[in-house]
Amino acid sequence: MQYNKRNENGFSIVALEGDVDFHSSREARQVLLEIVKEKGDMLIDMSKVEYIDSSGIACLVEAFQESKTAGTKFGLVSVQGTARRVLELARLEQIFPIYSSISEIEAS
């Protein structure tokens, strides 16, 4: 897994790339929780995630829960393929704010 972090319009945008799995999800968790700790609003760009397992989804859930506690904003962008199917199976797509693109958020 690789990730790219940038700031845009007051949001920390984390673009995850590749496989978010047992091997890499610890790192992903650290990155996401660090942003919450800094009281930052966060968007996670999932458009380049090729595969995500349940440990990766668990990172997203934890970051979402922590951001709610911290009172910061959290959202997922461009969730596709396996990631979307797993979120649907766990009915998490009803819980997470999910956007089709960054431009959709800017427009809203």
Q: Which residues bind another protein (CB under 8 A)?
A: 19, 21-22, 25-26, 29, 50-51, 53-55, 57-59, 61-62, 82, 85-86, 88-92
Q: How far is the CB of 62 from another protein (least distance, A)?
A: 6
Query: CA 48 to CA 92: how far, in whole Å?
Result: 20
Q: How far is the CB of 85 from another protein (least distance, A)?
A: 4
What is the DSSP pairing of strand 41-52 with strand 11-20? parallel
CB of 6 or CB of 85, closer to another protein: 85
Amino acid residing at 46: M
Continuous H helices in 38-95: 54-70, 81-89
Residue 43's H or E segment, with its range, is strand 41-52
Q: How far is the CB of 20 from another protein (least distance, A)?
A: 12
CB of 79 or CB of 102, closer to another protein: 79
